[in-house]
Amino acid sequence: MNLKEKITTDLVDFKGRVGVAIEIEYERYEFHSGEVFPSASVIKVPILIECLKQSELGKIDLDEFIKITDRAGGSGVLQALSTNLSLTIKDLMTLMITVSDNTATNMLINIVGMDQINQTMEEIGLHSTRLQRKMMDFAAKEKGLDNVTSPSDMVKCLKIIHEEDFLSANSRRMALDILHFQQFHDKLLAMINTDKVFTANKTGSLSNVENDCAIIKAGSKTAYVAVLTDQLPDPYEARQVISRIGKHIYNEITRKAQTT
pLDDT at 70: 82
**Which parts of 121-186 are beta strand (E)?**
148-149
CATH number at residue 182: 3.40.710.10
Tally of residues, the chain: 260
Candidates 116, 95, 102; CA nearest to 40 is 102
In this predicted model, what pLDDT tens digit does every residue of 54-64 receive, in sequence order? 999 999 999 99
CA dihedral sign, ordered 215, 204, 160, 52 = negative
Q: Are 223 and 188 in contact, with CB atoms under 8 Å apart?
A: no
Q: Are 60 and 89 in contact, with CB atoms under 8 Å apart?
A: yes
Give 260's pLDDT tier (boundaries 50, 70, 90).
Answer: low
In this predicted model, what pLDDT tens digit does every residue of 104-114 receive, in sequence order? 999 999 999 99
Between CA 135 and CA 95 the distance in angstroms is 14
In this predicted model, what pLDDT tens digit does every residue of 117-153 receive, in sequence order? 999 999 999 999 999 999 988 788 788 889 999 999 9
pLDDT at 168: 98
pLDDT at 82: 87
Give 1's pLDDT tier (boundaries 50, 70, 90).
Answer: confident
235-258 and 3-11 are packed helices; what angle lies between their axes, rounded to 10 degrees? 180
Where in the sequence is the domain holding 97, given as residue range(s)?
A: 3-258
In the predicted model, what is the mean pLDDT of residues 219-239?
97
Q: Are 146 and 164 in contact, with CB atoms under 8 Å apart?
A: no
pLDDT exceeds cutoff 90 at 171: yes
| Average pLDDT score, the chain | 95
DSSP string, 56-113: HTTSS-TT-EEE--S---SSSSGGGS-TT-EEEHHHHHHHHHHS--HHHHHHHHHHH-
pLDDT at 139: 82
- Domain total of the chain: 1
Element (H, E) at 27: strand 27-31
